[in-house]
Amino acid sequence: MSELLSAALLGTARSTPSFEGLATGELARSVGGDPAETLLGAAALENAYRDGGVAASTRVLPAPAENDPRLQLPSASAAHLMQLLAAKSWTLTEWFAVVAERGYRAPDHLVADLMAVARTNDTHRESILRLAGPRGQWLAAQNPDWSMLVRRSDRTDVWTHGAHQERLLWLTTMRAVNPAIAMAELRRTWDSERGEHRAAFIAVLGTGLGDADSDLLEHALDDRRKEVRQQAVQLLRQLPNSAYAERMAARARVWVRVEKKPLRTRLVVNMPGSLDDSARRDGIEDVHFKNKGIRSWWLRMVVTAAPLSVWEGMIGSAAGALEIRIEDQWREVMMEAWTNATVLQRNPRWASALLHREGRKTERRVVPIVPARERLAYILSGHADSYLLGVDGAALFEGLPHPWPLDLAERVITRLEDVAGRHAETGKDLGQFSRHSHYSTLRSAETHFPFTAAPLLRAAAERTRDPGWQQAFATVAANIDHRRTVLKELE
Amino acid sequence: MTSPWSEGQVASVAPDAGSLAAAAKLSGAWSQTGGNGDALWGLCQGSGKSPYRSVVDLTGPAYHCSCPSRKFPCKHALGLLLIWSQGRVPEQSEPPEFANDWLSRRAGRATAVRTPTAPVTTASGAKSAERRAERVAAGLDELDLWLTDQIRGGLGAADISASAFDAIAARMVDAQAPGIASTLRRLPIVVATRADWPDRLLREYARLHLLVVAHRRLSELPEPLQASVRSHVGYPVATDSVRGEPGVRDRWMVLGMQTTEEKRLFTRKVWLLGRDHGRRAILLDFAHGSAHFSTVIPPLGSLVDATLHFYPGAAPLRAQFGDTHETPEPFTTVAPSDMDTALDDFAAAVGADPWIRSWPALLTGVTPAYDDGSWFVADGQGRALPLSGEDPVLWRLLGMSGGSPVTVFGEWTSDSLVPVSVFDRGDVYPLVSGTPSTAGSRR
């Protein structure tokens, strides 16, 4: 065939086609006409002969995917899954939770499409990969475009041989999936990493942070690079069981003590005149707020980083600590530092003591740390009504049992109906932002409402005279019905 | 009232998954919904002041909506179908004014279409056919001159720009040889995308030259081959005359289905295999503007006892449905079929009709694989054939099999298999759209 092709490329005006080497060469000679016609005729003949004569070759098959013993997703759910993903449905988080709990796997015919979605869907990527299971991993390992979706812990070649960005991505992902493996790999190579890379890697450790990380972080306190040292301090402050926390506790015990006199128990602060090197190593800085009182700055850092249990041991309880008398000069610093420590150490006892003491003025970051049961009681008692629907209200709802108890849903709906009533009365928006933010509160509550809230919402829609709110309530009721349908399919 | 569709049926008319999801979200936005006989209507509150007026004629189905969406059907019409499928559309005797206009206009048009047109008299028919043959012959002579010129001057030096192919293609449209025109129109893509384009170009030129030669000697050819030549050139075939061909009755299995769109022309291709006699068939349907085809075909994965009428040709494949004898039912098995069968079938087809580009191929118990940058299917003995097609299709196929044997149906195209659907554990899955067949899995 190559003889015919080279003659065709050159042109029969300048070259004569040769039929040697053609399977149909003998016959080709009998094709009439001028050289161009003969060439085309011979090519047609040879093509037909070759097309008809194709034979199979021999290939070795690669290893098949591991078997996935989990149950296959019910067919109705499988049919809805791609729609839910295409619509980025609010129900997906809950849907995936049920899927994980019941231990379903994706049907084989959806695995490739799911991997394609997982590539672009940051929110549900890990849930999708779990659903796609070993078959998804098998597929991802073969497709270069899907290498970022490979989650098998034995695939550390990216870490050992990848470019910096690939390694950073691997570490970030692995940190979310299996923090221990990520830490083990990082520890192995830490001392040979370049300074700026160490800074980038240590920043990633905020995800999946745990006591097992304290050794490397302690080591990082002696790093040549300031960013690395600072980041290590940031993270260590969140680990109240570490040696670092113990050193901070020791300092706190030296600087602050309880003075017990009859009827006059109080906290007495006694700050040193200068810092030693070990304090500087632990990130207590010598330079900040010099004009505002360097010693209150030191105190703030130590109290923030010392385990809260220090104060419970010293004073008796979190509530007791918040009530104890403190010299005026130090009072504000102590309260701020305790609040910060509560947030950093995610201490539920202190969070709840703060909420009960400060009420509505409680720092927003503290609220979600209060145990869900207490927060629920607080909301239902009516104390939270004034900021239940505001932007700040979101912190109250974080981590509450899902779905919400009906009385919580009822309380939220009643408050929203009040807002709807005001909209209807004034006949105008209370500012576009206000209406919008209320709608969005309703929408984010939608995924948490129990199914039994749908009739309440429909009743609210009937009662309200504002058409926008009418539709908002009706839509959420319909969405809850839809949510019930897609979740029921999983049973 | 027509019994409500299932949610799956509603999904099947959606233009894409996004529209369907958007439609489901409208569930709470409806008012004044109603249905009567074969129509549905309702008002859907959008973000604007006045609600959209949405109407569906279920007989088409056809859709009408006052929204500005260019999707067809739009999310409102789909939403209306969805709440209807949930039994939430009350029956009413009379459509309201906003629906009545469109519905009555449609009814009027339908009657107009059904009015029979006067048949063309045979004498003038023969005369126009003769005139057409002369125009085609003249056009083909011109084409051959162009082809041989290209070869004489050399492909290396020829003008292979898109406009050069377009010019000769336009000439073939004038000469009433649309089959050849569309072949020529595909060549610029070949030149632009394939490293081996000179080889491909020579193949296509040789194929066209052979067609010209065959057309010149049309009367010397046996009848079936004459029909093949005419159809490759692009002579029209009257649908009625195909119905006149002798029928072939079998239990036809629907093995594959694919809808493609090019410049608003939608083409639906359905592949059938006779369960009892093993004959293959293709049904082709066309629709302008949207993918709504006039003929109803049984779903993928079903089997229907029917008589088919084949378009005449030396390797007949395209067919039309004649009488259907039973309602379709799902099938869950196919007879074993190996690579030799597929290759032999193709060789026989090319032997009878050398202009054929592809032939349906069914391979049971083969494992698709991607190794070292190439795609293939291999059987239990390690014998392999190359695969080709679009990336998502091939990955879907690989994901389906997971490295274990499956049954693949596709088109063998002389150098590779282009997969169309895959069978696994009694279900048929299309590879081209990604949605599973409902025929097999409904039970």
Kindly report, residue by residue over B248-258, the tens digit of the pLDDT: 999 999 999 99
Cβ-defined contact of B399 to A43 (cutoff 8 Å): no
* Range A91-115 average pLDDT: 95
Closest CB from A82, A83, A112 relative to B396: A112
* Range A326-353 average pLDDT: 95
Alpha-carbon torsion angle B191, B193, B197, B202, nearest 10 = -60
Residue B125 has pLDDT above 80, yes or no: no
Measured between beta carbons, the chain A residues lying within 8 angstroms of B390 are none
Spatial contact of A288 and A294, defined as CB atoms under 8 Å apart: yes
Q: Model confidence at B435, in pLDDT bands (50, 70, 90)?
A: very low
Q: Model confidence at B439, in pLDDT bands (50, 70, 90)?
A: very low
Spatial contact of A274 and A287, defined as CB atoms under 8 Å apart: no
Q: Model confidence at A153, in pLDDT bands (50, 70, 90)?
A: low
Alpha-carbon torsion angle A121, A124, A127, A131, nearest 10 = -50
Residue B443 has pLDDT above 80, yes or no: no
Picking from A350-354, A420-424, B160-164, B356-360, which range would have the lowest pLDDT averaged per residue? A420-424
> How would DSSP label each residue in A450-489?
-TTHHHHHHHHHHH---HHHHHHHHHHHHHHHHHHHHHHT
Which of A3, A6, A9 is the best mutation test for B, with the most CBs of B within 10 A? A9
Spatial contact of B137 and B175, defined as CB atoms under 8 Å apart: no
Residue B61 has pLDDT above 80, yes or no: no
Cβ-defined contact of A474 to B384 (cutoff 8 Å): no
What is the reported pLDDT for A427?
Answer: 67
What is the reported pLDDT for A79?
Answer: 84
What is the reported pLDDT for B110?
Answer: 55
Measured between beta carbons, the chain B residues lying within 8 angstroms of A8 are 151, 154-155, 198, 202
For chain B, percent of residues with pLDDT exceeding 70: 93
What is the reported pLDDT for B438?
Answer: 34
Cβ-defined contact of B27 to A475 (cutoff 8 Å): yes
Cβ-based neighbours of A399, under 8 Å, separated by 6 or more: A368, A372
In a 3-state reduction of DSSP, which class is residue A298? Answer: helix
Length of chain B: 443
Predicted TM-score (pTM) of this structure: 0.77
Residue of A nearest to B353 (CA): A48
Cβ-defined contact of B351 to A48 (cutoff 8 Å): yes
Measured between beta carbons, the chain B residues lying within 8 angstroms of A19 are none
- Rounded to the nearest integer, the mean pLDDT of chain A is 90
Spatial contact of A27 and A100, defined as CB atoms under 8 Å apart: no
Kindly report, residue by residue over B277-317, the tens digit of the pLDDT: 999 999 999 888 877 787 778 889 999 999 999 999 999 99
Residue with the two structure tokens 């409902």? B438
Residue B242 has pLDDT above 70, yes or no: yes
Tell me the shortest Cα–Cα distance from B99 to chain A, in angstroms. 23
DSSP label at residue A354:
H
Residue of B nearest to A116 (CA): B392
Q: Model confidence at B169, in pLDDT bands (50, 70, 90)?
A: very high
Kindly report, residue by residue over A310-330, the tens digit of the pLDDT: 999 999 999 999 999 998 899
Alpha-carbon torsion angle A21, A22, A25, A29, nearest 10 = -100
* Range B338-348 average pLDDT: 96
In angstroms, rounded to a whole number, what is the distance separating the alpha carbons of residues A198 and A186?
9
* Range B162-170 average pLDDT: 94
Which of A45, A59, A70 is the best mutation test for B, with the most CBs of B within 10 A? A59
What is the reported pLDDT for B395?
Answer: 97
Measured between beta carbons, the chain A residues lying within 8 angstroms of B29 are 471, 474-475
Residue B71 has pLDDT above 80, yes or no: no
Closest CB from A8, A61, A79 relative to B369: A61
In angstroms, rounded to a whole number, what is the distance separating the alpha carbons of residues B233 and B182?
10
Q: A359 is written with which tokens?
A: 């009420």
Spatial contact of A68 and A135, defined as CB atoms under 8 Å apart: yes
**Nearest in space to A308 (alpha carbons), one of A399, A394, A397, A369:** A369
Q: What angle do CA A449, A454, A459 make, to 5 degrees?
A: 125
Kindly report, residue by residue over B170-209, the tens digit of the pLDDT: 999 999 999 999 999 999 999 999 999 999 999 999 999 9
DSSP label at residue B318:
B
In angstroms, rounded to a whole number, what is the distance separating the alpha carbons of residues B306 and B276?
12
Residue B1 has pLDDT above 50, yes or no: no
Cβ-based neighbours of A459, under 8 Å, separated by 6 or more: none
Cβ-defined contact of B436 to A79 (cutoff 8 Å): yes
**Nearest in space to B399 (alpha carbons), one of B436, B426, B438:** B436
Cβ-defined contact of A109 to B28 (cutoff 8 Å): no
Picking from A137-151, B92-106, B121-135, B339-353, which range would have the lowest pLDDT averaged per residue? B121-135
Measured between beta carbons, the chain B residues lying within 8 angstroms of A84 are 21
Closest CB from B351, B384, B399 relative to A139: B399
Residue B439: CA count within 13 A, CB half-sphere? 25
What is the reported pLDDT for A178?
Answer: 86
* Of residues A59 and B16, more confidently modeled: A59
Provide the angle, in degrees to the nearest 10, between the axes of the packed helices B17-25 and A467-488: 120
Cβ-defined contact of A10 to B198 (cutoff 8 Å): no
* Range B43-48 average pLDDT: 82
Measured between beta carbons, the chain B residues lying within 8 angstroms of A5 are 198-199, 202
Q: How many CB pairs under 8 A join A and B?
A: 214
Tell me the shortest Cα–Cα distance from B25 to chain A, in angstroms. 7
Residue of A nearest to B354 (CA): A48
What is the reported pLDDT for B109?
Answer: 63
Picking from A83-97, A424-438, B261-275, B331-345, which range would have the lowest pLDDT averaged per residue? A424-438
Kindly report, residue by residue over B6-33, the tens digit of the pLDDT: 776 777 777 777 788 888 888 778 888 8
Spatial contact of A396 and A388, defined as CB atoms under 8 Å apart: yes
* Range A49-61 average pLDDT: 93
Closest CB from B24, B153, B424 relative to A11: B153
Residue of B nearest to A109 (CA): B400
Sign of CA dihedral A336, A339, A344, A350: positive
For B309, the enclosing helix (H) or strand (E) is strand B302-310
Tell me the shortest Cα–Cα distance from B136 to chain A, in angstroms. 20
Residue B436 has pLDDT above 60, yes or no: no
Residue with the two structure tokens 């293939």? B376
Spatial contact of B400 and B381, defined as CB atoms under 8 Å apart: no
For chain A, percent of residues with pLDDT exceeding 90: 63
Kindly report, residue by residue over A474-483, the tens digit of the pLDDT: 999 999 998 9
- Rounded to the nearest integer, the mean pLDDT of chain B is 87
For chain A, percent of residues with pLDDT exceeding 70: 96
**Nearest in space to A96 (alpha carbons), one of A71, A73, A115:** A73
Which of B194, B208, B395 is the best mutation test for A, with the most CBs of A within 10 A? B395
Cβ-defined contact of A47 to B206 (cutoff 8 Å): yes
What is the reported pLDDT for B48?
Answer: 74
What is the reported pLDDT for A18?
Answer: 82
Cβ-based neighbours of B156, under 8 Å, separated by 6 or more: A9, A10, A11, B198
Closest CB from A10, A57, A86 relative to B156: A10
Q: A225 is written with which tokens?
A: 């690079």
Cβ-defined contact of B21 to A107 (cutoff 8 Å): no
What is the reported pLDDT for B118?
Answer: 44
What is the reported pLDDT for B115?
Answer: 41
Cβ-defined contact of A82 to B17 (cutoff 8 Å): yes
Measured between beta carbons, the chain B residues lying within 8 angstroms of A443 are none
Cβ-defined contact of A59 to B369 (cutoff 8 Å): yes
Cβ-defined contact of A10 to B154 (cutoff 8 Å): yes
Residue B238 has pLDDT above 90, yes or no: no
Measured between beta carbons, the chain A residues lying within 8 angstroms of B209 are 37, 40-41, 44
**Is the ipTM reported for this complex over the cut 0.85?**
no
Sign of CA dihedral B72, B77, B83, B84: negative
Which of A90, A109, A481, A483 is the best mutation test for B, with the most CBs of B within 10 A? A109
